[in-house]
Structure 1
Amino acid sequence: MSILIFFIGHWFLSLFFQTFFQHRYASHRMFTTNKFWERVFYLMAYIFEGASFLNPRAYALMHREHHAYSDTEKDPHSPHFFTDVYQMMIATAKTFRDHVKRTTDSEAKFPGHYPEWPLIDRIGSSILSRLLFGAGYTWFYIVFATEWWMFLLLPIHYVMGPVHGAIVNWCGHKYGYSNFDNNDKSKNTTPFDFLMLGELFQNNHHRHPNSANFGKRWFEIDPVFPVMKLLHILRIIKLRKAA
């Protein structure tokens, strides 16, 4: 039971901060917040994403490329230009690494307005940090695993962020239904998206990229949006009005 609680907790906490901080804040600026809370969210993203911490600047630049060139040859992770999901993940990782190392010039087209914390960026992207988190996950499994099959879940902890991204980028542009004609292949993979916290409403998101609520029809529930509304009411963040 401890292993399953740990796995589910890591899955949803890592995914929450990826969609809330790197995606909705760093990439789209769906809300504003003060420097104190930005640093709190930054630190929590690092802690809960752990071994697969995603540099917010690199994430924002790559994601803006994805929206600008959705499902074209310039899209950094369209599933329609790769033979399988593994090849897409490798190409995505390479593009992301180039942004982390600042060896690409896309910033000229997709400038600024993303959070940066050089100390956390350096630590979170370091091999040492990833290895230490990986060692922590492994120790937890050694101590608490009661069945051999539980260790099959362990590798997912090491690459939790890329796994989330692969599911969203592959399924969200291949499988499901469309509410809007976006001139791309984005789909709403499922009308009930609790597993990916609303990220699989890709068709809706590509139609309204600055809307904090990814659900657009009455039955499409985005689990993250009520959390954002609560933080807005508490004046921790301020939601922007979507254009």
Structure 2
Amino acid sequence: MADIQRAAGISNLDADTGDARPAPRRKTLSSPYLHRLQRRHFLLFDIIPILGTIAALGFLTVHPFGFTELGLLASMWLLTGLGVTVGYHRLFTHRTFRTTRGVSSVLAVLGSMAGQGGMVSWVALHRRHHECSDRAGDPHSPNLAGGGLRGRLRGLAHSHFLWMRRHEYPNIAHYAPDLLRDRALARIGRRYDYWVLLGLLIPTLVGGLVYWSWAGAVSGLLWGGLVRIFVLEHIIWSINSFLHMFGTRAFDSRENSRNGGVFGLLTLGESWHHNHHAFPESPSFGLAWYRLDPGYWLIRTLAACGLAWDLKVPSTERIAARRVPRTAGTATGPAT
């Protein structure tokens, strides 16, 4: 009976009125249906890009890699990558700034085209990650698989790739109610599959028109579509895996996030991961002008054009107050 009540959202009867009290909202959900959806997404959007990258290399014998392929790969990577870091991450997950309806809609579409999951689910997963970072409940920590070399390798494999096959699904009603209430964004989120297809169709059409051939269209699909998804995915997944195990730290925090500043450009600023965990409300992950953070550069550009406001950058004094003194932090190293 208790299981039936919990499944129905009802707990024990109120002792005074005899009325049913609603059960506490579950933070995560797990069911065969959800696990089937996870396996399907894993195959479609995680495995197929790997196969597409192998196919792209093989297709070089038919159609050489040229400036068109390079331009499609770079431009589609940049646009969809900014959609993830500025849209999915800094705007929708952490609300680090405010913007217009048009800008938020464009960022939601670009983030969806990256093929890393629907907007609402992505936000819920990332908020769950911050809540439970490197503790039980973190969906992709590399530090929960045991000690020793074997445990570290298992943890890296899990956090980088394998966790997406099957995991507890964060309850979006608990973790992302703000997005569910936003009808325009919710409509965009429900069309996630269409946006991924659009992200594949655009480079296909461009390649076909530039070369005016089916081989050009296929080459555009492979390099601007599947290879681009593969590259961006592994860049983002490296934040989950390697930057919770290797890198530098400058602030006192309970989790094991790290900075990898040398990858600032490649990750569009996401590699300042320890800084982000220390100040998740900040649109700037670098926290200083000389640290490469292209995602923040876009937000600052939007702000200069009057399209972004209420940027919640922490003050210099607040950053200094959180910083671990160099003599105390030598075990983990200073920020780079």
TM-score (norm 1): 0.77
| Superimposed CA distance per residue, residues 135-158 of structure 1 (whole angstroms, 9 cap, x where no aligned partner) | 665674931789xxxx68974334
| Mapped partners of 1:194, 1:117: distance in 2 | 29
Segment drifting more, 202-211 vs 29-38 = 29-38
Contact conserved, 1:26 with 1:113, CA < 8 A, in 2? no
Measure the CA separation in 2 of the matches of 1:59 and 1:130: 14
Q: What letter matches 1:35 in structure 2?
A: R
2:139 equivalent in structure 1: 76
Indicate how the Cα distance of structure 1 residues 93 and 37 shifts in structure 2: closer, same or farther if over 3 A, else same: farther
Indicate if the aligned counterparts of 1:78 and 1:169 stay in contact, CA closer than 8 A.
yes
Q: Percent identity?
A: 22
The residue type equivalent to 1:240 in the other structure is L
What is the aligned partner in structure 1 of residue 192 from structure 2?
124
Runs of 4+, deviation exceeding 4 Å: 129-139, 151-155, 158-161
Q: In the TM superposition, what is the alpha-carbon distance from 1:159 to its structure 2 partner?
A: 4.2
C-alpha deviations, 1:59-88, integer Å up to 9, x for none? 111111111111112111112235165533
Paired residue for 2:177?
A: 112
Question: Which structure exhibits the higher relative contact order, with contacts defined as CA atoms closer than 8 Å and separated by 6 or more residues?
Answer: 1
> Structure 1's 207 and 93: CA in aligned 2 closer, same or farther, altered over 3 A?
farther
Residue identity in the other structure for 1:197:
L
Q: 1:24 to 1:154 in 2, by over 3 A?
A: closer
Q: 1:35 to 1:111 in 2, by over 3 A?
A: same
Q: 1:143 aligns with which of 211, 216, 223?
A: 216
Work out the CA distance in 2 between the residues paired with 1:192 and 1:13: 18
Following superposition, the deviation at residue 164 of structure 1 comes to 3.3
Q: Which stretch has the larger CA shift, 114-123 or 219-228? A: 114-123
Inter-CA distance 145–34: structure 2 relative to 1 (3 Å threshold): closer
Matched letter for residue 239 of structure 2: V
| 1:175 counterpart = 2:246 | yes
Q: How does 1:1-243 map to 2 (within 5 A)?
A: 1-46=67-112, 49=113, 52=115, 54-81=117-144, 83=154, 85-88=156-159, 89-92=161-164, 94-95=166-167, 98=169, 104-105=170-171, 107-108=173-174, 110-114=175-179, 117-125=185-193, 130=196, 133-134=199-200, 140=207, 142-143=215-216, 155-159=226-230, 162-191=233-262, 193-217=264-288, 219-242=290-313
Contact 1:201 1:215 in 2 (8 A): yes
Aligned pair count?
A: 228
Give the deviation of 1:36 after TM superposition.
3.2
- By how many angstroms is 1:178 displaced? 0.8
Q: Distance in 2 between matches of 1:181 and 1:27?
A: 23
- Cα distance in structure 2, aligned partners of 1:227 and 1:39: 16
- Residues 1:162 and 1:86: Cα distance change in structure 2 (over 3 Å): farther
Q: Distance in 2 between matches of 1:121 and 1:24?
A: 17
Using the alignment, how far apart are the partners of 1:145 and 1:124 within structure 2?
23
Determine the C-alpha separation between the residues in 2 that align with 1:230 and 1:176: 29
Q: Call closer, same or farther: CA 1:10–1:84 in 2, change over 3 Å.
A: farther
Alpha-carbon distance in structure 2 between the residues aligned to 1:221 and 1:211: 15
Name the CA distance, whole Å, in 2 between partners of 1:145 and 1:37.
Answer: 31
Shift of the alpha carbon at 1:218?
6.0
Structure 2 contact 76–224 (Cα < 8 Å) conserved: no
Gap change, CA 1:175 and 1:38, over 3 Å in 2: same
Which amino acid letter does the alignment assign opposite residue 283 of structure 2? A
Q: Structure 2 length normalisation: TM-score?
A: 0.58
Structure 1 gaps, min length 5: 99-103
Gaps of 5+ in 2: 1-66, 146-153, 209-214, 315-336
